[in-house]
Amino acid sequence: MISRRRSLAIAGLAPSLAAQARAQADPLPSWRDGPRRRALLDFVAAVTTPGQPDFVPPAERIAVFDNDGTLWVEQPAYTQLIFILDRIRTLAPANPAWQGDAVLRAAIAGDMHAVMAGGTEGLLRLAGLTQAGMSPEAFQRIAGEWLATTSDSRWRRPYTALVYQPMLEVLALLRGQGFTNFIVSGGGVEFVRAFSEQAYQIPPHQVVGSSFALTPGEAAGRITLTREPRIDFVDDGPGKPVGIARFIGRRPIAAFGNSDGDWHMLRYVTEGPGRRLGMIIHHDDAAREYAYDRASHFGRLVRALDEAPARGWQVVSMREDWGRVFSAP
């Protein structure tokens, strides 16, 4: 017979051992226990357990992730916009005619809000003007070098260190369970491809994004591809389901977003038959990251937030649900 004192000691010990064991096996250590964490784990268990009614074969386990504000920080501005403004300032002295264009003038002055008045298309127009005339490979080298040498103004870290640790854990959990993860971003596809493999273990062909026209040609006896300033495809809002159908060719079963630009994608994914997961990352943690939704220039979130309960979408509170925010310590 075990004394009451001894049994209390064991009882006191047991949770600690259980916590240790759980931590070792826990695929989501940066997620605090709660309805969102449980919804994630329940969904994964439901679609990956053979014999269960919601089982989905591995080939059909497709998950899509918005990038800006869902996988990495998007304040004080989209990283790609900061990159474009940097490029414009670098190239402006050699292009005096740019002073005649109101949006380019705002860009040279660093007025991000004026630049963003044109929305995703305005941003892409600027990107096209300043990043055309080169091959996709040359552009990715420029973007990669910029990312390797530029730091965020608040944290003084490279942008690729400002990816969300809890989302890296979701990506790894799904990958380990036979999912194929795709980024479906309003940003330029070649910009995201410049860092997706290093930052997220997502290869270039699993990145869907906006794009410029590419013109094939020949120079010095070699096939060339040249980026044109003309927008070919805007992978934002209603464009996201189109990009998914075009690039992935199969309706995903899980979608993660954070803004109204993801509303169509969240609907397209969660309106499919069978068990689905729609998840919205709500930025409500000004201390550790930022707090914004309805009034933000970047990542504006109104309709998707209002409709989330009726549509069964999980709204993740960064403040409550995430024990840690960034991948960098």
- Chain positions contacting a copy of itself, by CB under 8 A: 59, 62, 136-137, 180, 182, 189-190, 193, 197, 203-207, 211, 214, 216, 222-223, 225, 238-239, 241-242, 245-251, 264, 267-268, 271
Q: In what order do the strands lie in the sheet with 314-317?
A: 222-233, 207-219, 180-188, 62-65, 254-257, 277-282, 314-317
Least distance CB 135 / a copy of itself (angstroms): 8
Least distance CB 48 / a copy of itself (angstroms): 17
Is the CB of 100 or the CB of 249 nearer to a copy of itself? 249
Least distance CB 110 / a copy of itself (angstroms): 30
Is the CB of 175 or the CB of 297 nearer to a copy of itself? 175
- Reduce the secondary structure of 195-206 to three states and give it as a string: CHHHHHCCCHHH
Least distance CB 47 / a copy of itself (angstroms): 17
The answer to whether 261 touches 241, Cβ cutoff 8 Å, is: no
Distance of CA 234 to the CA centre of its chain: 16
Is the CB of 4 or the CB of 222 nearer to a copy of itself? 222
Is the CB of 76 or the CB of 136 nearer to a copy of itself? 136
Is the CB of 106 or the CB of 174 nearer to a copy of itself? 174
Least distance CB 175 / a copy of itself (angstroms): 14
The answer to whether 213 touches 230, Cβ cutoff 8 Å, is: yes
Q: How far is CA 36 from CA 45, 193, 284, 300, 311, in A?
A: 14, 29, 15, 21, 15
